[in-house]
Structure 1
Amino acid sequence: MFSPSGTVATINARETAPLSASENMFGDGTEKNPGLLIAVPGELRGYEMAHNRSGRLPWKELFEPSIKLARDGFKIGKALAKAIKAEEEKIKNDPVLCGVFCDLNKAIFKENDCIRFPKLAATYEKIANYGISAFYNGALTDDILKVTKAAGGIITREDLMNYTAEWQEYALNFTVGKYIFHAPDAPFGGPVLALILNILKGYSPSNCSVSTTENKILTYHRMIETFRCADEERRKLGDPLDENITKVNMTSKSFADNIRSKIKDDIKQERCNEQCYDNCQVDDSGTSHLSIIGEDGSAVAVTSSINDYFGSKVMSNLTGIIFNNQMNDFCKPKKENGQDKNRSCENNNLIKPGKRPLSSMCPTIILHSGQVKMVVGGEGGTNITTSVAQVILNYLFFGYDLQKAVKEPRVQITKNETNVEKDFDKGVTDGLKKKNHSICNNTELTAVQAIVREGDEVCAESDYRKGGYPAGYPEPIL
């Protein structure tokens, strides 16, 4: 959050592990107990904190558009239709989910069908009228505990009552060229974004970096190698409120310089910390993001998630709430012959009571000369940080206009492969293959939402990959 006075702060309302959670709470699967995947929800606490500190409208008024939308219904868009189709079997096999996401013939809804959430609308009304206490220790609490327990969950009333969001006066900040970046610290993706951009700034990115096919091959090779190195470091992070760890390296110039010195321009390098993948293969999922600039110069970047499509797939038939599966974002100890394997890379993200799991969320506010230049963030789990980095590079350094910066086909990394989106430059992929990159064509990978100031104008772009569109209102005529 950026205020007109020039201050920047972050609100950490990430879910936490229940008080009775433990490192070894998961067995071979959670199919019979999906409630175990539900972490203590915190998002409402975060919104309350934001409203108490910066809100202008009455709390109740904030809910009116969502209540109307949930009650009256809306046409299903591309992204929701895709999610429903992906989870078709589980939706059809669950009477509560099917009661919302299926028609009278128990066929799942499709794009452009109308969907309604009347029970969720009633829940919003309770929170609007009685505040978030309705959720954490009020009219909704008994049902929350009943539903999660019936699904095998371990959340208690004490968990809900004790949850607190964290207000952090000073967001993680770092400078690249003439821009000052503000992003959330661990357990979020800010340190990873800082490392990526600090490595790449050593190559002096500019429009020349993508002016020819040969230049683009080298630029994307360096980007991919940087992404791979940063991902190895990401897996060492954890909740700093719980773990005695340091992120200084992730944002230091010397650390970035050292990694850059190991990147070879002619060939893909081998991984230096392969055990990170062997021991903790958790990749976070999901998310939704909003980027906002106000007429007074304020700005907000907010990312939220229940993790996978429909979270834990546990839905209350009374309140219409679908519960998260954020416990999946913790590492689970891998056993070998009954013993814990070497955990050098995963031990900062193991389950502990009250701890927040690692996340790739990376809402970012970028300043120039003390004013907001860009507000950006993404959706798509582990690929969020690298996608946000690519849009930032495209717009601020490669000279693309905002629409092209967001629409440009992107690359992402997995353990051994590089995924490229449809329409990615074939000449570049051919060149990358010659540098020993294993290239796979993939569908749309992530979505990024960005808004920028260009002189006296504000420009916004919502990613076509998720069927989004920007919205705004004209300044009042005085």
Structure 2
Amino acid sequence: MADSDGVRAQSTVLMGNTGGRSPETPLNQKKRFLAVIGVITGVSILIGGLHYITTKNNDTCYPKVAVAADAGNCSQVGRDILLLKNGSAVDAAIATLLCVGLYNPQNMGIGGGVVFTIYDASTGKVETIDARETAPQKSSANMFDKDPQKTESVTGGLSIAVPGLLRGFMMAHKRHGRLEWKDLFQPSIKMARKGVIIGKAMAEALSETSVMIENSTTWCDVFCDSNNKTLKENDMIKLLKLADTYELIANEGPDVFYTGSLSQKIVKDIQAEGGIITSEDLRDYEPRVHEYALNFTMRNYTFHVPSAPFSGPVLAMILKILDGYNFTHNSLQTDERKILTYHRMIEAFRFTYARKSELGDPQFVKITDIIENMTSDETARNIRSKIDDTTTKPDSYYGKDISPPYDSGTSHLSIIAEDGSAVSVTSSINDLFGSMVMSPTTGIIFNNQMKDFSRTEQGKNINMNNLIQPGKRPLSSMCPTIIMDNSQPKHKRVKMVVGASGWTKIPSAIAQVVLNKLYFDYTLKKSVDEPRFHNGWKPNVTEVEEKFDKSMSEGLRKKNHDIHQLLGGDYLGEVQVAVRQGDRICAECDFREGGSPAGY
């Protein structure tokens, strides 16, 4: 290796140069020699690691482990849990997300919810853990009917659903953790007190919400500078109250949040903002474990995803429709083929998003037949027969006239561990800074997931399966995915761990990255970086990112697509992915969010 040779050449100079000093004794020469060898060994190991990191395709790869979070320092936290502490994949995931809650508090935190897809290499099983927020017991389907400005379901105390994240973390830890619970909090406690540097994603969120922040003592105490102006990118922020809260949860466990001293503060702070969450709501919250994830097989791969109220059925339907076209790298080799391929993908999005509008919480509504229909081969064949390769169709062609709910921001993490286990996990507080309610006593920012329910004041064409009921979980676009490689049946291994943030664009963003890598044979970096497109059926327009090929846009317009080009920093989902490539594990963090992977 050239770099190592360079180090060895330098070491010869170091050992041969006495700088005019008197000759050393043999004993001292030996000590110096061993010291230099130690330094050289350390440098060689570092350079050897760097050699593994970058390949000729600009993919970021490691020999054993990869962690891909949307904050680079947090990817390193996960890596260190695995490398230095011998933690499990779930240990690393929990520690990493606690860190992400500091670097991207606008997207996720302990005031929200989470969904895990977990592969345990020791058992060969894939399970999901659903810790989505729930509607409070005092909620009702028409609770927002008397809100003429339609704001109470978006911000403020009434928009807050019962947080589930910490009980979800504890369930995952009890089933798959290896380290002590409190050890998972220590890196983030230290960071929160020392201060973290504001990155691109948080800075943009702070800019968008600066008026609210600067007009609130609670928010400005945390997110303003000494002149009471909102902090900017590369400024340092200290989250001291949240650090104290983390430390309390680390030492006493998550029950301190749900039934202990924190719960009383949480209820008081939420109710002071007009919320209806009670101590009983917190006490009674329970995550759900599904010991067998929803799965479907395409080619040599088996996909494992969470079922409703999450969007596993949505991703399954999209990919099953498209699998029948037998896409390969040749599908993009000419402009004509590429336009046709993209047209078929967009049509699959339309048909699928129309069906998504019928989903809800299966504990409250009977949707088993809908899920089975969405994920069946017969449905995929039927829809392919309806896709016209020459043109798109009116809205009514794709599904029932139902207005979909509009869920919002999230954070995703993908991990492949040294033992072959894997975690794909997505967490959310919904909109930027959730409900825009931050507890002045604990530093917790609360979600606004009540917004994700369908509401009666939205009109007659609403998803009746997604109406508010006490204890119910709202529909979600989150879809943490684990893909197994079945090419060697006796030695099944994780091929890809993938998921996304980006509101309703999550399933279409994941589908595009999966197709780019596994079907179109792109490098991993190109698979993630490639400009995206999205059509969610309503509104029936096809959004394309700013750098999307203009010739593709023109070709799609000729097939009657209504193309809307996004500008500047508007993107269609942010994907974090880890994939096994030969004997290496590669990872990519979406430039759209600004994170970076870590591994060893």
Q: Look up the match of 2:10.
A: none
**Secondary structure of the residue that 1:436 maps to in structure 2?**
coil
Q: CA separation in 2, counterparts of 1:327 and 1:194?
A: 26
Counterpart in the other structure of 2:91: none
- Corresponding residue pairs, total: 466
CA offset digits 1:303-324 (Å, max 9, x no partner)? 0000000000000111000000
Give 2:581's match in structure 1, choosing from 436, 447, 454: 454
Deviation at 1:30, TM superposition (A): 5.9
| Aligned-partner Cα distance in 2 for 1:31–1:308 | 13
Distance in 2, matches of 1:274 and 1:87, equals 37
User: Does the aligned pair in 2 maintain the 1:402–1:461 contact within 8 Å?
Assistant: yes
Give the alignment of 1:241-320 within 5 angstroms.
Answer: 241-246=363-368, 247-272=371-396, 280-320=403-443
Determine helix, strand or coil for the equivalent of 1:375.
strand
TM-score between both structures, scaled by the size of structure 2? 0.76
**Deviation readout 1:181-226 (Å, 9 max, x if unpaired):** 0000000010000000000011111101111111110000011111
Question: How far apart, CA to CA, are the structure 1 residues paired with 2:581 and 2:480?
Answer: 20
Q: Distance in 1 between matches of 2:333 and 2:290?
A: 41
Aligned 1:183-222 pairs, distance under 5 A: 183-222=305-344
CA distance in 2 between counterparts of 1:268 and 1:386 reads 18
The correspondence for 1:28, drawn from 148, 155, 168, is 148
Q: Does the 8 Å contact 1:232/1:273 carry over to 2?
A: no
CA 1:55 to 1:453, structure 2 compared with 1: closer, same or farther past 3 Å?
same
Which residue is equivalent to 1:52?
A: 174
Are the counterparts in 2 of residues 460 and 470 from structure 1 also a CA contact under 8 Å? yes
Offset of residue 272 of structure 1:
2.5
Deviations 1:17-59 (A, max 9, x none): 0011100001324657711100000010110001001101100
Displacement of 1:92 in angstroms is: 1.6
Alpha-carbon contact 2:355-2:399 (below 8 Å) kept: no
Q: Which amino acid is the alignment partner of residue 140 of structure 2?
A: S
Q: Which residue, 69, 81, 100 being the options, matches 2:203?
A: 81
**In the TM superposition, what is the alpha-carbon distance from 1:400 to its structure 2 partner?**
0.3
Question: Does 1:10 find its partner at 2:133?
Answer: no
Equivalents in 1 of 2:149, 2:137: separation in Å?
21
Q: 1:280 to 1:269 in 2, by over 3 A?
A: closer
RMSD of Structure 2 on Structure 1 (CA) = 1.4
Segments ≥4 residues shifted beyond 4 Å: 30-33, 273-277
Secondary structure at the aligned position of 1:2 is classed as: strand
1:4-153 paired onto structure 2 within 5 Å: 4=121, 5-26=123-144, 27-29=147-149, 31=151, 34-153=156-275
Q: Is the 8 A contact 2:131 2:287 kept in 1?
A: yes
Give, as a single letter, the amino acid of the residue that structure 1 aligns with 2:305.
A
1:409 alignment partner, SS class: coil
Whole-angstrom CA distance in 2 between matches of 1:392 and 1:85: 33
Alpha-carbon distance, 1:261 to partner: 1.0
Q: Structure 2 CA distance, aligned partners of 1:426 and 1:342?
A: 35
Aligned equivalents of 1:31, 1:99: Cα separation in 2: 25
- Unaligned runs of 5+ residues in structure 2 are 1-117, 487-491
Who is 1:327 aligned against?
450
SS in 1 for 2:497: strand
CA–CA separation in structure 1 for the residues paired with 2:297 and 2:168 = 27
Q: Tell me which amino acid in the other structure corresponds to 1:395.
A: K
Note the residue ranges of structure 1 that are not aligned, 5 or more in a row.
none
Shift in Å at residue 392 of structure 1? 0.2
1:445 lines up with 2:568 in the alignment: no
TM-score computed with the length of structure 1 as normaliser: 0.95
Letter in 1 for 2:421: S
Rounded to whole Å, the distance in 2 between the matches of 1:158 and 1:195 is 38
1:157-178 deviation digits (Å, cap 9, x = unpaired): 1110100000100100001111
Q: What's the secondary structure of 1:272's corresponding residue?
A: helix
CA contact (8 A) 1:179 1:367 kept: yes
Secondary structure in structure 1 of the residue aligned to 2:248: helix
1:445 CA displacement: 2.3
Offset of residue 243 of structure 1: 0.9
Deviation at 1:416, TM superposition (A): 2.3
After alignment, is 297-306 or 409-418 more displaced?
Answer: 409-418
Paired residues of 1:280 and 1:332 also in contact (CA < 8 A): no
One-letter code aligned to 1:184: P
Q: C-alpha offsets along residues 109-168 of structure 1, whole Å, 9 cap, x if unaligned?
A: 111011110000000000000000110011211110111001110101111010000010
The whole-number CA distance in structure 2 between the counterparts of 1:466 and 1:367 is 26
> Structure 1 residues 30, 38: CA separation in 2 closer, same or farther (over 3 Å shift)?
farther
Q: Distance in 2 between matches of 1:141 and 1:79?
A: 30
> Do the aligned partners of 2:433 and 2:447 also contact (CA within 8 Å) in 1?
yes
Which residue does 2:107 correspond to in 1?
none
CA contact under 8 A between 2:576 and 2:589: conserved in structure 1? yes
Larger radius of gyration: 2
Secondary structure of 1:331's counterpart equals coil
Instruction: Provide the rounded CA distance (Å) in 1 between the counterparts of 2:465 and 2:454.
Output: 9
Distance 2:434 2:398 in 1: 29
Aligned residue in 2 for 1:357: 474
**Cα separation, partners in 2 of 1:90 and 1:342, compared to 1, 3 Å:** same
Aligned to 2:545: 421
Which residue identity does 2:236 align to in structure 1? C
Matched, 1:348 2:465: yes
Which stretch has the larger CA shift, 115-124 or 413-422?
413-422
Q: Structure 1 CA distance, aligned partners of 2:501 and 2:578?
A: 15
